[in-house]
Structure 1
């Protein structure tokens, strides 16, 4: 897992061939003005999910992980708390669904606050619990770029 401000993204661009493309996309497109939905960047190899939702309490959250895609989650407006831990520290709650690239997990982990202008990168070994409120639930806007692992 990586947590930083988008202005520092170049530091991490060499970690995966497509991370630079993802960061450049966020830096060069006015995604904050776009409507929620899916936007193709490189077909199924890389796409953006623009989300607008109200954060929730941790008791209403759930752990998730992905095998095929890296998540680059960029906070456009507002902030949220996110749970994170290694997938090996959790138990499978619902089996992996390869069509959705999604496994639901359960257990305990740590949390971090992701502020406006910051991004988090979750690799396949990084279970995460996004969408959590920092105190009171608030509406946020977030861009999630899904980057194919291979």
Structure 2
């Protein structure tokens, strides 16, 4: 694939990840990760796909892991949704935890994302940042200090995030 046909999202990735996605072998840069593969499970709502995820964890993964071992690879599964109530909190803590774990795993392993989707993409969260003018207006219109405290707890004006 020539560079002109590569999506900008792929071009924004590290050279190592570009090589991985495009099937290029870069010996020197892949040596660190060359023996670890991570199946990273993403789910909009893990309760909607409990049966499918159970099959992945209990049937597919053990067989695939044994196959990888015969080829000299480690296979791990990362599923932060599996048997946890964290996603039910419906705040930004769990999505941030997932992104942090995915970032960490990308540094040490090849990632195979597995997405479980249903007729919805899950509960939509309110944005973690809002424009500074909207934040200021909300703070000024808050009825009391308690309301201002809640706004400050759950939102950051966009200027604070960029700094």
TM class by shorter chain equals under 0.3
Larger radius of gyration between Structure 1 and Structure 2 = 2
TM-score by length of 1: 0.27
Where relative contact order (Cα < 8 A, 6+ residues apart) is larger, the structure is: 1
